[in-house]
Amino acid sequence: MAYADAHILIVTCASQTGLVAAWSGCLFDAGANIIEIHQHADLAEGQFFMRIAFTAATPPDRAILAQVAARFDAHWQFYPAGARQRVLIMVSKFDHCLADLLYRWRIGELAMDPVAIVSNHPREATRAVATDDIPFHYLPVTPMTKAAQEEQLWRLVTETGADLVVLARYMQVLSNEMAAKLSGRCINIHHSFLPSFKGSRPYHQAQARGVKLIGATAHYVTADLDEGPIIEQDVERISHADTPDDLIRKGRDVERRVLSKAVHYHLQRRVIVNGHRTVVFPD
């Protein structure tokens, strides 16, 4: 849904009585019209999550919203629905996720501004993808230069004003420090299997184990590698006839689909982190 004057309000706080009434009443008093309301009460944790999309000729006064928030000790965020996030995309040699994100951006499906593409491989490695005039930064990395490379990366994040960093099959592990700095605004994609496999060449392991499904998981990056809050997952059916190369091919489809969906949800402010988990309000 697209409205010229729409806004998104995100609220998180401890569960308590009167939350919906207070926030919706405050918006009504400010002349706003609610288009969409999503709410989730995590009863086990006693946490409350709400996303309200509303239109208003004049946006509500932030001071008034702050007063309501103070009453409930709530964490809140408030965005114009049309605000485009600035996105820095990182990639290594496999560019299927990058290609998919950029195509969806070009046709207006992903409302983002790609401000930089960063790769630990030269531009030639991702030659199948037209990156137009998005600045491409080649930041090679070795165990020795990792700290310096991440410093360069952080400078780029800062200089470009990136709101979101997408690891679109970036095959390097971010340091704990970097993961902490990008907390809640860095999305990674990785393959997933039933059961899961540790170590390298997971598609080869999956083929050797004879699984009948392969999958992918998009999640926020945390210091704990591949264990951050999950945003989206999906699977693809395979068979005994699939070679590891076939699995890699079929894996590309599910990887790009899952990552693009996760980025779409994030850009629409539909994902709220809840500890090790996420609340995702679907569109």
Scan residues 74-103 and list those touching its own copies (CB under 8 A).
Answer: 95-96, 99, 103
The span from the CA of 45 to the CA of 278, in Å, is 13
Instruction: In whole angstroms, give the CA distance from residue 47 to residue 197.
Output: 33
Residue 144 is a binding residue for its own copies (CB under 8 A):
no
Closest separation between CB of residue 149 and its own copies, Å?
A: 27
- 250 with 242: CB under 8 angstroms? yes
Q: Is 239 in the site for its own copies (CB under 8 A)?
A: yes
**Exposure string (b/e) for 81-110, b if CB count within 10 Å is 16 or more?**
beeebebbbbbbebbbbbbbbbebbeeeeb
**Piece of 59-67, 68-76, 150-158, 209-217 that binds its own copies (CB under 8 A):** 209-217
Q: Is 61 a catalytic residue?
A: no
Q: Cα(72)–Cα(121) distance, rounded to whole angstroms?
A: 49
Residues 120, 149, 188, 192: which binds its own copies (CB under 8 A)?
Answer: 192
Q: Does 35 bind its own copies (CB under 8 A)?
A: yes
> Of 48 and 170, which CB lies nearer to its own copies in the complex structure?
48
Other Cβ atoms within 10 Å of 164 Cβ, number: 20
End-to-end CA distance of the chain: 9
- Near its own copies in 1-30, by CB under 8 A: 1-2, 17-22, 24-25, 27-28
Options 68-76, 82-90, 181-189, 191-199: segment touching its own copies (CB under 8 A): 191-199
- Residue 235, interface with its own copies (CB under 8 A)? yes
